[in-house]
Structure 1
Amino acid sequence: MFRGERRAKILDLLDQYGRVEVDDLASRFGVGMDSIRKDLQALAKEGKCNRVYGGATRIGEKDEPPSPQPARSATQSAVPQMPSVPLSAEDAGRLAVAKRAYLEIHDGDSIFLDISRTNTFLADLIARGDKQVIVTTNMIEVLQKLSNLKHVTALGTGGYLNVQLNGFVGDTTISMLEPLLFSKAFIGASGVNLDLAAVTCNNIDSGSVKERVIHNASYKFLLADARKFQVKGLFRFASLKDFSAVVTDSKDPAVLDSLRRMGIPTYRALPL
């Protein structure tokens, strides 16, 4: 991406959310934070944004002073509130990833949610939100969460029901998916092997469905909580470079640097 294109996209994000952060932009565009700082300085000099500590705000937007209650950013407020219930560390990571993924969904999208624990959280957010979308899924739990909602058209793939996975897989499912096109697909994984740039799962039939969906989607988002970078699944169903972006809560510099070196846009998960 050329510098001018990146700056135009930064302005789009400012217009949408009111504020942007240097580290989030660096991860999103796969460049260093110094490059983003120069972008923001140039845009501020042109009178297109306000430069503030850690990022920039939209013209006319005030940078709020610190307060005892942590202020919610415009980005966070765009995400539906979830009930405050105790979560395991793993599920907290999945929810954080799902919240960031939700921001990539817009009215009119036709999306696919595959068999993934993270996608059950994303389905909860879609159900609680008001975005008018079509959701196709091969996961029973996701289908149950999104059925009978006015703002969601929920479609199940059908096919062979794998009780252990709680979803549809196999040749029939793939045949049903073949003619369907999606604007966005949100894909889970059992593990991510950074050395091989391999995205893996533990069920070959599920992996075949994921592979078909990736082929049929315009934008593909890999949902990978931090734990996934420490796990290697049995079957490789995609390369990291097959994805438009990785959504993760990982704070490991080695992981983030590896993704950046590969040129994979990385969207950092929202804090809970």
Structure 2
Amino acid sequence: MFRRQRREKILEIINATGHATVEELAKLFHVSVDSIRKDLRELADAGLCIRAYGGATRIKPAATETEAHAQSPELQVTDNRTGRLAVAERAWEEINEGDAIFLDISQTNLLLAHLIAEGDKRLIVTTNMLEIPRLIAANPKVTVLATGGFLNPQLTGFTGTASISLLEPLLFSKAFIGVHGVHIPSNAVMSFNMDDGMVKRKVIDNASERFLLADQDKFAIESGYRFASVDDFSAIITDTTNASILSELEKRGIPILG
């Protein structure tokens, strides 16, 4: 089997099961763990999965069979990544010299961290996502703080009560909050799970300005742990052009940035 075919199969497994470990994949494809790690790293760099300790997880809930036939996994994720990048670029415009900001666990915030790493703004950045400190630490204008706490390997970040306790004394001028989904009819903003959601809730309470980062795919998700309401945010940064969604958000009087 060629490397490209193996990576396609690996992606199918991750999307179907939600996760896969390096050891399992190495045994399945009869290759070294180093080869699998390289496969997962390149898939993650392409935005096709999320690297986690010992393996990888899927980047979004599995598509239905009808959706899978209608659109390939590569195209689905490419479109999603494009939306996330547009949201990250718009979020970057809201960050000013001297801001103390928080970036939570989300792929959009990881893209925003890339912009911060390459930027020239003097900032204090606090985060609970593992990849972000390493990414932006080389920028001498950015002071980086990591929350610490319980490490969730699936989310590749710190969550739970320990992280919340460590966040207690920290105040932020701006918080950028990624989400698992936004359900407009119930006004619900949802996280992947309760531990992640509790941290997001604490950050919202400690921030002067709170930006909800939601690419268009997030408005199609109707399940998850509700940690906030749409009107808990100062503004919503989104790439959606769906007139119905925009109309409903505008009725709530929340600024929409895009």
Give the alignment's TM-score, normalised by structure 2: 0.70
Matched, 1:227 2:217: yes
2:135 corresponds, among 145, 160, 163, to 145
Q: Which amino acid aligns with 1:236?
A: R
Provide the C-alpha distance between the structure 1 equivalents of 2:243 and 2:109, rounded to a whole number of angstroms: 25
The 8 Å contact of residues 105 and 129 in structure 2, kept in 1 or not, is answered as: yes
The 8 Å contact of residues 190 and 232 in structure 1, kept in 2 or not, is answered as: no
2:243 corresponds, among 253, 256, 259, to 253
Residues 68-106 of structure 1 deviation map (CA, whole Å, 9 limit, x = unaligned): xxxxxxxxxxxxxxxxx9981111100000000000000
> Any gaps of 5 or more consecutive residues in structure 2?
1-46, 48-73
Q: Which amino acid aligns with 2:248?
A: S
The 8 Å contact of residues 127 and 145 in structure 2, kept in 1 or not, is answered as: yes
Partner of 1:57: none
Moved over 6 A (4+): none
Deviation at 1:148, TM superposition (A): 2.9
Partner of 2:92: 102
Provide the C-alpha distance between the structure 2 equivalents of 1:232 and 1:132, rounded to a whole number of angstroms: 38
Partner of 2:20: none
Q: How does 1:1-272 map to 2 (within 5 A)?
A: 88-268=78-258
Q: What is the RMSD of the two structures over their aligned residues, measured on CA atoms?
A: 1.6
Provide the C-alpha distance between the structure 1 equivalents of 2:122 and 2:186, rounded to a whole number of angstroms: 38
Provide the C-alpha distance between the structure 2 equivalents of 1:210 and 1:219, rounded to a whole number of angstroms: 13
Partner of 1:80: none
Name the SS of the counterpart of 1:251 in structure 2. coil
Name the SS of the counterpart of 2:211 in structure 1. strand
Deviation at 1:210, TM superposition (A): 0.1
Provide the C-alpha distance between the structure 1 equivalents of 2:156 and 2:223, rounded to a whole number of angstroms: 19
Q: Which amino acid aligns with 1:88?
A: T
Which range moved further: 227-236 or 154-163?
227-236
Which range moved further: 140-149 or 159-168?
140-149
Deviation at 1:202, TM superposition (A): 2.0
Name the SS of the counterpart of 1:148 in structure 2. coil
The 8 Å contact of residues 117 and 138 in structure 2, kept in 1 or not, is answered as: no
Q: Which amino acid aligns with 2:114?
A: D
Greater RCO between the two (CA within 8 Å, min separation 6)?
1
> Any gaps of 5 or more consecutive residues in structure 1?
1-84
Provide the C-alpha distance between the structure 2 equivalents of 1:88 and 1:209, rounded to a whole number of angstroms: 29
Provide the C-alpha distance between the structure 2 equivalents of 1:200 and 1:245, rounded to a whole number of angstroms: 16
Provide the C-alpha distance between the structure 2 equivalents of 1:163 and 1:235, rounded to a whole number of angstroms: 19
1:160–1:97 distance in 2 versus 1, CA, 3 Å:
same
Deviation at 1:149, TM superposition (A): 1.7
Residues 5-25 of structure 1 deviation map (CA, whole Å, 9 limit, x = unaligned): xxxxxxxxxxxxxxxxxxxxx
Q: Which amino acid aligns with 2:124?
A: I
Provide the C-alpha distance between the structure 1 equivalents of 2:89 and 2:241, rounded to a whole number of angstroms: 16
Give the alignment's TM-score, normalised by structure 1: 0.66
Provide the C-alpha distance between the structure 2 equivalents of 1:127 and 1:234, rounded to a whole number of angstroms: 31
Q: Which amino acid aligns with 1:112?
A: F
Percentage identity across paired residues of the two chains: 53
Provide the C-alpha distance between the structure 2 equivalents of 1:128 and 1:94, rounded to a whole number of angstroms: 18
Name the SS of the counterpart of 1:195 in structure 2. helix
* Structure with greater proportional helix content: 2
